Amino acid sequence: MFTPFSGGAFTFAISAFFIALYIPVLYVFRKNSEFRTVLAYKVMFWTGVTDLGQLFIFLLSGIMAMIQSGFLHFYINKFCGSTLYAFWFAMLYLSIIVTLNRFVSVVLSGYYPVIFHPTNVKWMYLLAVMIFGISWIVKLTPYSSYYFEPTLLKWHYGANDVYAVAIVLTKTRQRPSRRWKEYDSDANLYIELSKAQVIVLL
């Protein structure tokens, strides 16, 4: 659908557009006293921060796609990928907290002071930091990677991640075969995994 240049340009443009919208919104959230005191707004602010972090990394990947160059050193690319991965998981968690907060405040309002007691809120924030930190550290290890490939116009997992999925699905303990190390697209992975024995754990 897209050439690498047009796809990269679109990624860059849409990321820049939403960054330009997001920054003023987060500024208002930070400066307005109401937004600083209501829990839902505070969580929404941090959700916005995680979104903004992802957008900046997508902005960088758009540039890499346009010039068709992996100008980032592998480890910097890996660092950006792990950060993007961690921001995404943290964003999912914070979105669930906002949804739960709104649900309890409307449907179970009598339980709101208990569920969202200040102590519980501190634990919720701590869990958000832990989710970010664990996801980030895992992708920084030599055994797991998430990096951008400009020729494919996509972020994707490393060979070790692909092999780990294959091991879980086939319940084998064979060493990684050469084909698992040569995957360049999810399509190939899906085709190969469709041939695997899928084990359903009950």
pLDDT single digits (tens) 98-108? 999 999 999 99
For residues 97 and 76, what is the distance between their CA atoms, to the nearest angstrom? 31
Nearest to 56 by CA among 6, 89, 92, 20: 20
Q: Confirm whether pTM is higher than 0.85.
A: no
pLDDT single digits (tens) 23-52? 999 999 988 888 888 899 999 999 999 999
Q: Is 173 exposed, middle or buried (0-12, 13-18, 19+ CB in 10 A)?
A: exposed
147: β partners: 156
- Map out the domains of the chain as residue ranges: 4-148, 158-202
Whether residue 142 is predicted with pLDDT greater than 60 in this model: the reply is yes
Q: Among all chains, which residue has been given the structure tokens 């990677």?
A: 145
Q: Among all chains, which residue has been given the structure tokens 């930070």?
A: 30
For residues 26 and 49, is the Cβ–Cβ distance under 8 A?
A: yes
Whether residue 192 is predicted with pLDDT greater than 80 in this model: the reply is no
Reported confidence tier of residue 188, pLDDT bands at 50, 70, 90: very low
157: β partners: 146
